[in-house]
Chains A and B, each alone.
Chain A
Amino acid sequence: MLFYLIKRLALGVVIVMLAVTLLFCMIHLVPGDPARILLGPRATPELIAGMSARMGLDQPLPIQILLFFGNLFRGDLGMDVITNRPVADMVFGQLPYTLWLIFTAIGFAMVIGIPLGCYSALHRNTLIDRVTGVLSVACITVPAFVVALYSLLIFAVTLNWFPAVGAGEQGNFWDQVRHIVLPALAIGLSWIGYLARLVRASMLEVMGENHIRTARAYGLPERVVVFRYALKLAVLPTVTVIGVGMGFLLSAALFTEIVFARPGIGKLIFDSITTRNYPVVMGSVLVSTVLFVISTTLSDLVNAWLDPRIRSSL
């Protein structure tokens, strides 16, 4: 168990370092001097040189990377060159919005998708199963941005049921809830279909296994067979998929934040890329990568908690 955690931690560090290095190289390859773009066409060469130095762009690439990791080691993500605030403050200020959005979206996909999948598996080939099947595939194939734009048009602009932009008033819980519905729907809709299909398939598989026949042979009520004996096994793949899918969820969240003009990491990355505010881009990407590593580890741990076979192999 301890060995497993150490292994995961080491792997996580490697992934984060690779991601950061890759991003440095990409920034380096993007044409145009970031300092010049940031300062606009009328900037003097001295100003540009000064800005380059503040962003650390005057150093050779390997030194830039080393410096970044060096600072990171001291818990310093660098300074925002425009507002002169620490990047860490900005990122962690925006992070809760993104997390809240992701958890709402996935929570809502689980609450609808898992029961739907179970129902379909247990009532295979009935009308409801077929309709769910078609709808699920439709949900999966509709891209998040289409859902985002159309839900915005229909529910916010035309029907005016939900607000269109922003995250809601600070401290007003109900207002925040109203603001999260549409973005969460945009991210979660394909996940409803995805989870419904996944749970249906694994539930069907589990229900055909020998130990379910045993449970039935003991006359256990069907409700116990399904919810206690089968469901726990059937959700195992779902947990893994959600953990690994965190990457997709994050990217969908980033996109959705831009469409709905919601504060969050995505909005932060987008704004800082358009202004070539690279320290902020670096910091946000770093935190998102760490988030991804944490979520895959977490899903492994949840799986181990659910499945004693995995637990003893950790």
Chain B
Amino acid sequence: MNDALLTIRDLSVHYHTDRGELKAMRHVNMDVPGGSIVGVVGESGCGKSTLISSIIRLLASNAIIPCGSITFEGRDLLGLSREEMRRLRGDRISIVFQDPMSTLNPVLSIGRQMVDIQYRSSASRAHKIKRATEMLASVGISDPGSRLKQFPHEFSGGMQQRISIAMALQAEPALLIADEPTTALDATLEVQIIHLLKKLQTDIGCSILFISHHLGVIAELCDYVVVMYAGEVVEEGTTREVFHNPAHPYTERLLRCDPASIATKTRSLPTIPGEIPDLVTLPQGCIFKNRCEHVMTQCEHLVPAWIESHSGHFVSCHLAAKPGND
């Protein structure tokens, strides 16, 4: 996929901690084709937020990127200067964060914030306010003109998330990153937000990198899905392929436990017995071996290769490599 909008190759992110180097993300490869929606799914702590923070280069100050590259619209993001990166953010790449109730500035009005982020445009103030009003209307906020004067605490969580989406899409970016935009919301709101995102995505024609805990949401929204486990990508393919034909035991377990219906909301992924290995002292061999039902002798010492089990469907598991077991 060389025409991909966003290409991540061999990307690792480590955090300096008191206990040593925490290897939060290791050798991740990923593509986001233009105009598509790619879902990233995985348990809490598997490195989803780390992944997106590294794309917009807003990682915590104790983070380092030991290797890898991130190419966006043909430019290597990791090689850009801070200033060049800042110019890209909010213009070509926008982001909707995880917790809607704390992502907006509490002491500035919504209108002020929506006008402020249009600082690149040379349009008049009246024009910028008009643009903000249109955006609020497009995410389904009634009476947008007067609501612009209000402050975040005067809106519900669901409305704040809509406002965040309106802000993120205001500049019509090429890539929208959404970090669990619906996790803090209840089920009906979640459905509404998903439909809203899908509609806006078709209107604007952008790509979305969609992070979620919730398989049902991914199935509903995404064209491609990337399954992450403990800082690694373990499986990747079209949503249809991965959901109907899961190749990694982790994905399989997730699907088996998931109610699969978007209306029945789960706060977190279905629980799988066992725990994510310690990311400071990583075990040898396969990262999933301590929780895998199909664990074999080679899983102990050998890291499984990244193989294509079907066309466009990749997995890292020894099972998939075994002849006659694709």
A and B pair up: yes
- A contact set with B: CB distance below 8 Å: 209-211, 213-221, 224, 228-229, 232-233, 306-309, 312
Q: Given A216-B58, A217-B58, A309-B151, decide whether A210 and B103 contact each other with a Cβ distance below 8 A.
A: yes
A220 touches B117 (CB 8 A): yes
When chains A and B are docked, how far (Å) is the Cα of A211 from the Cα of B167?
A: 13
A209 touches B89 (CB 8 A): no
B58 touches A213 (CB 8 A): yes
Instruction: List residues of chain A with CB within 8 A of the CB of B151.
Output: 308-309, 312
Q: Given A217-B89, A219-B90, decide whether A211 and B117 contact each other with a Cβ distance below 8 A.
A: no
- B contact set with A: CB distance below 8 Å: 56, 58, 86-91, 94-95, 97, 99, 102-109, 116-117, 119-120, 151, 153-154, 164, 167
Instruction: List residues of chain A with CB within 8 A of the CB of B104.
Output: 211, 214
A215 touches B56 (CB 8 A): no
Closest A residue, CB atoms, query B101: A210
Instruction: List residues of chain B with CB within 8 A of the CB of A233.
Output: 105-107
Instruction: List residues of chain B with CB within 8 A of the CB of A214.
Output: 97, 103-105, 164
Contact of B108 among A210, A217, A219, A229 (CB under 8 A): A229
Instruction: List residues of chain B with CB within 8 A of the CB of A218.
Output: 89-90, 94, 116-117, 167
> Known contacts A218-B167, A233-B107, A308-B151; can you find 9 more A-B pairs with CB under 8 A?
A211-B104, A214-B103, A218-B89, A218-B116, A224-B116, A228-B108, A233-B105, A308-B107, A312-B153
Instruction: List residues of chain B with CB within 8 A of the CB of A308.
Output: 106-107, 109, 151, 153
Instruction: List residues of chain B with CB within 8 A of the CB of A232.
Output: 107-108
Least Cβ distance of A305 to chain B in Å? 10
Closest B residue, CB atoms, query A218: B90
What are 29 A-to-B residue pairs whose CB atoms are below 8 Å?
A210-B99, A211-B102, A211-B105, A211-B106, A214-B103, A215-B105, A216-B58, A216-B86, A217-B56, A217-B89, A217-B94, A218-B90, A218-B116, A219-B88, A220-B116, A221-B86, A228-B116, A232-B108, A233-B105, A233-B106, A307-B106, A308-B106, A308-B107, A308-B151, A308-B153, A309-B107, A309-B153, A312-B151, A312-B153
B117 touches A210 (CB 8 A): no
Closest 10 CB pairs of A and B: A218-B90, A219-B89, A219-B90, A308-B151, A210-B102, A218-B117, A211-B105, A214-B103, A219-B86, A217-B95
When chains A and B are docked, how far (Å) is the Cα of A203 from the Cα of B117?
A: 22
Instruction: List residues of chain A with CB within 8 A of the CB of B97.
Output: 210, 213-214, 217
Contact of A209 among B86, B102, B119 (CB under 8 A): B102
Closest A residue, CB atoms, query B154: A312
When chains A and B are docked, how far (Å) is the Cα of A238 from the Cα of B291?
A: 52
